Amino acid sequence: MLLAMTSDARPRTRYRPADRPPVDLGPIVRLRDFEAPARERLDPVAWSYYAGGAYDEHTLGATAAAWDAFRLRPRVLVDVSATTTATTVLGRPTTMPIGIAPAAMHALAHVDGERATARAAAAAGVIQVVSTLSSYGLADVADAAPGGRRWFQLYVQPDWGLNRALVERAVAAGYEAIVVTVDVPVLGYRDNVLRDVFDPGPGAYGNLPQRDVWKREDEIDAILDLRSVALTWKQLAEIRSWAPLPMVLKGILTAEDARLAVDNGVDAVWVSNHGGRQLDRVAAGVEVLAEVVDAVEGRAEVYLDGGVRRAPDVLVALALGARAVFAARPFLWALACAGEAGVAHAFGILHQELERALSMMGVTEPAALTRAHVERADSSRT
């Protein structure tokens, strides 16, 4: 049933980006600056697929605005001459507590896809999480940047043989952790995907068989394909048995599930609303981050994605208790703008922003941030 892809196969997608010279990175001084030129370069359907959310996109919008509910509390007159952005995640070093969240099909953004992303991430010393739905195969991505830290994000498929094969391939290719996505029992209802009848075409996925998954009788069901509808806590143990790697659960939004996760021996809980692409009217990650951190009680690391764009956002999340944060779209835009160089530029910006921000907070490393460094914007201490 699996249709092997040769490792040099280029992904074939119907929404392949135009072959244009890279954007001038000079005027790009923040991650959001990548967005407009990326949009201009991407196929409109690919843009819509990346940028859109589920249902009325309340959650998508709220995820950007939710940060405004928090305020940093900077301390002064601290010697910050030795400030570093470096920290450890899952016990190993990273240059920054920010990594690349998994996103499907980087080749919609740039022909080099996840291979370009991998090279930039490895050069920057940050973690890349590669999606089950990556354009290039797991080994291809690893080969592109041997020294990098890489995790594998697993969409549990109905075909358990495939699930196991994917995990084993990740282990073989040196991936360091399995990130199991738990918020996609079914795909979210996405207006834009339905309107555009989004279909990247066979061969768009580097890890999956080349069947044409979209052509079914019921068009909506075809486009919004069922995923891990029957995945439960007890099956996690089986997945874990396939690989001697830490397991991260991505898509937790409640204290109850966070507690269950650590009770089930998970190594890290990743707070996420899936980029606003699954259920609408759920919280932005940062809104429930403290709830989850408190429930975990230090028994696992906690990560967050959702609207992280600038260093002050990172500081808020870390002060609330996240060990690291992740983002996906900004790096897709950077990839679309200039391939590997774009993503590298993005991390260059983040490093500058973060080092300064830590110093202005009066801390010398990410791990020194505490709840005393953050408060709700509407709080009154008087």
- As a whole number of Å, the end-to-end CA separation of the chain is 66
Q: Which residue, 64 or 111, is less far from a copy of itself as judged by CB?
A: 64
Under 8 Å between Cβ of 358 and 366 = yes
DSSP 146: T
Site string for a copy of itself, 175-204 (x = CB under 8 A): -------xx-xxxxx-x--xx---------
- Smallest distance from the beta carbon of 355 to a copy of itself, in angstroms? 8
**Least Å from the CB of residue 89 to a copy of itself:** 22
Residue 10 binding a copy of itself, by CB under 8 A: no
Question: Counting Cβ atoms within 10 Å, is residue 161 exposed (0-12), middle (13-18) or buried (19+)?
Answer: exposed
Q: What's the CA gap between 331 and 89, in Å, rounded?
A: 20
Sorted by sequence, the CB contacts under 8 Å of residue 140 that are 6+ apart come out as: 7, 114, 115, 206
What is the per-residue binding string for a copy of itself in 208-237, x denoting contact by CB under 8 A?
A: ------------x---x----xxxxx--x-
**Segment near a copy of itself (CB under 8 A), from 89-97, 116-124, 126-134, 276-284?**
276-284
When asked if residue 281 is in the footprint of a copy of itself (CB under 8 A), the reply is yes
Query: What burial class does residue 377 get, using C-beta atoms within 10 Å of its C-beta: 0-12 exposed, 13-18 middle, 19+ buried?
Result: exposed
Is 345 among the residues known to form the active site? no
Q: d(Cα 289, Cα 295) in Å, to the nearest integer?
A: 10
Selected from 291, 299, 341, 365, the binder of a copy of itself by CB under 8 A is 291
Q: Which of residues 73-102 bind a copy of itself (CB under 8 A)?
A: 73-81, 83
Site for a copy of itself in 26-55 (CB under 8 A): 27, 29-30, 32, 55
| CB 294 to a copy of itself: min, Å | 5
Quick check: 344 binds a copy of itself (CB under 8 A)?
no
Work out which of 39, 71, 164, 169 binds a copy of itself, going by CB under 8 A.
71
Would you give the binding string for a copy of itself spanning residues 121-160, x where CB under 8 A is met?
----------------------------------------
Residue of 106, 110, 274, 345 marked active site:
274
4: how many CB neighbours lie within 10 A of its CB? Answer: 9
Does position 356 interact with a copy of itself (CB under 8 A)? The reply is yes
Comparing CB distances to a copy of itself, the nearer of 195 and 216 is 195
Q: Is 67 in the site for a copy of itself (CB under 8 A)?
A: yes
Q: How far is the CB of 58 from a copy of itself (least distance, A)?
A: 7
Q: With beta carbons less than 8 A apart as the criterion, state whether 311 and 356 touch.
A: yes
- Nearest distance from residue 364's CB to a copy of itself, in Å? 10
Q: By C-beta, is 5 or 361 nearer to a copy of itself?
A: 361
Cβ neighbours of 321 (radius 10 Å)? 21
Q: Could you tell me the smallest distance in angstroms from the CB atom of residue 55 to a copy of itself?
A: 5
Position 56 contacts a copy of itself (CB under 8 A): yes
User: What distance in Å separates the CA atoms of residue 270 and residue 8, rounded to the nearest whole number?
Assistant: 33
Under the binding rule (CB under 8 A), the answer on residue 368 touching a copy of itself is no
Long-range contacts of 339-343 (CB under 8 A, 24+ apart): 339/22, 339/110, 339/112, 339/116, 340/112, 340/116, 340/117, 340/119, 340/120, 341/22, 341/25, 341/120, 342/22, 342/23, 342/25, 342/34, 342/120, 343/100, 343/116, 343/117, 343/120, 343/121, 343/124
Q: Cα dihedral angle (279, 105, 222, 196), rounded to 10 degrees?
A: 80
Query: For residues 234-263, which are near a copy of itself according to CB under 8 A?
Result: 236, 249, 251-257, 260
Going by C-alpha positions, the residue among 74, 82, 101 that lies closest to residue 312 is 74
Q: Is 18 in the site for a copy of itself (CB under 8 A)?
A: no
Residue 359 found at the interface with a copy of itself (CB under 8 A): yes
By the rule CB under 8 A, 288 interacts with a copy of itself: yes
Q: Within 13 Å and on the Cβ side, how many CA atoms surround 148?
A: 28
The residues that are catalytic are: 274
